[in-house]
Amino acid sequence: MSISTIVAALALETDSDPVAGRAIQLARQHEARLIFVHAVEDAIPIHDLPVSLDVSVLHAIVKRNAADRIRQLTGNPESEATVKIVIETGKPYRIIDEIVQREDADLVIIGPGKAKNMREKVFGSTADRVVRTARQPILVVRSSVASPYRHIAAAADFSTASRAAAKAASRLAPDAAIELVHAVETPLAFEQAMLRAGTSQKEINGYRRARASEARRQISASLEEHDLPLVRARLRIVHGDAAQALVRLTRRCRTDLMALGTHGGNALSQMLLGSVTRHVLRAAGCDVLVSA
């Protein structure tokens, strides 16, 4: 499936420059329509405003100023026929979702954002909400570098979501090298119990190797499901906590995109992101592509 329509959400804060730069780069690479979206939150305390002031006029000015800032930020993108700017009033995550569905977008690009108040700390920032509810791949831009992606690490855990993420990454950056990464974790308490039961350290090391070998076999068997040619996909088995291992990979100088799944599709996922996904989104050293 090609990428024909991209929606890029701009908060017009510190993380907007990287989002705009990456959106323009990808739109040109894929010859896609690009829609810049900004939501003006309807939080003006109108009861304190002068009676003579027309609130609708005030909203129009705020929207016009936002559009001007986007043009300034992106170098007047509307001069290109395939680019447009949409400014609407409402909750950002709702506005983004409405426009994504209305425009039938293939990709959503957004900054990592941050919780601004207690409500967002409990229910998540705009970025959190968009990621956990979207049906399209979400690219969370953390890097200010907007050159084409060259090295992708894709978390592989045999789930439908991880397969979708790997495919989405391959589609997003068709010329990039892809590394499928699977974390094998043996709980410390389990290994300690094995030692107390008389298992030697050599046998425990053999157990670790056997688990890694089995994981490699399963990933190799699922490569066809990932639809990734062997010449492009390299397998890496890492030991330890999955979230920490993936974050370490994002901080390597060669990894410029991490792809992973949300394990969405059920009611619980609408409330909470998976712990691994949440940790990577908050601590990653590169851009993150998330698919449900």
Overall size of the chain counted in residues: 292
Q: What is the pLDDT of residues 222-256, one digit of tens each?
A: 666 655 554 467 888 888 888 899 999 898 878 99
Contact 122, 74 (CB under 8 A): no
- As for how many domains the chain has, the answer is 2
Q: Give the containing element (helix H, strand E) for 234.
A: strand 233-239
Evaluate if residue 72 carries a pLDDT over 60: yes
Give the pLDDT score at 149: 96
What's at 150, amino acid-wise?
R
Residue 263's pLDDT band, with cuts at 50, 70 and 90, is low
Residue 119's pLDDT band, with cuts at 50, 70 and 90, is very low
How far apart CA 286 and CA 51 sit, in angstroms, is: 49
Give the pLDDT score at 270: 42
Query: Of 92, 120, 142, which one is at a domain's C-terminal end?
Result: 142
**What CATH number is associated with residue 69?**
3.40.50.620
Contact 38, 11 (CB under 8 A): yes
Q: Which range (146-150, 187-191, 261-265) has the least confidence?
A: 261-265
- In this structure, are 45 and 74 located in the same domain? yes
Q: What is the pLDDT of residues 195-218, one digit of tens each?
A: 788 888 888 778 778 887 787 777
Q: Say which residue the tokens 């700017």 belong to.
A: 85
Average pLDDT of the chain is 82
> Per-residue pLDDT averaged across 46-64, rounded?
75
Q: Say which residue the tokens 């068709």 belong to.
A: 174
What range does the domain containing 214 cover?
Answer: 148-292
Q: Give the containing element (helix H, strand E) for 7.
A: strand 5-9
- In this structure, are 169 and 69 located in the same domain? no
- In this structure, are 192 and 135 located in the same domain? no
219 conformational bin, left if phi > 0, alpha if psi -120 to 50, beta if neither:
alpha
Residue 31's pLDDT band, with cuts at 50, 70 and 90, is very high
Cα separation of the two ends of the chain: 16
Cα dihedral 242, 248, 249, 250 sign? positive
- In this structure, are 136 and 157 located in the same domain? no
